Amino acid sequence: MIYIFFGPQGSGKSTQAKLLAEKLGIITISSGEVSRKIREENTDEGRYARELYDQGKLLPDNILFGRLKEIFLSPQAAGGFILDGYPRNKGQIFPFELFLKESGKQVDKVVVIDLTDEEGIKRLMLRAKIENRSDDNEGAIKKRLSIYHAETEPIIDYYEKQGKVIHIDGSGTIEEVTGLISKILP
């Protein structure tokens, strides 16, 4: 079982992916968490990742997919997984889909948590205050939202054509959104 969760920054996709993974007894693989781990490393790659992220930019595809592939092949992912925010652009679809095909797997469902940019910015600015996150400044958030609309939304269209996409209204509370997802997925 492989699910992908998409949504603009602040939509709660990571929270919802984790809640469903716990319910199903599978792991969540978050491209954001993997990126943050790389940024924390005291390596050239880590310093490069920090520089990009502070500018509101994302990691290059080859760096991120290399790390994700290690997780996809791990024993923890053998029973399935929920991908949080990956693939995030058209360039990532082919290697990811090829990897799945070679592994005898496929994406089962894609959950898109819809939220307005304004609400996402509001939520992330609050999170920035609470968690003291330098990457959640308004300029960087707007840049990441712009990237999401330009690069990630076409991925949703790709899976939409396959009949795999489920849209969820993300404007409610965590519990309300979880309830909507639970009505559709096991």
pLDDT digits 0-9 by tens, 98-131: 999 999 999 999 999 999 999 999 999 988 888 8
Lookup: tokens for 10: 């602040």
Q: What percentage of residues in the chain have a pLDDT greater than 90?
A: 71
Q: How far is CA 108 from the centre of its chain?
A: 16
Q: Which residues pair with 112 in a beta bridge?
A: 6, 167
Q: What is the pLDDT of residues 24-54, one digit of tens each?
A: 999 999 988 898 899 999 999 899 988 988 8
- Answer positive or negative: Cα dihedral of 27, 30, 35, 36: negative
Residue position matching structure tokens 């781990």: 37
- The CATH classification of domain 2-180, taken from the options 3.40.50.720, 3.40.50.300, 3.40.109.10, 1.10.150.20: 3.40.50.300
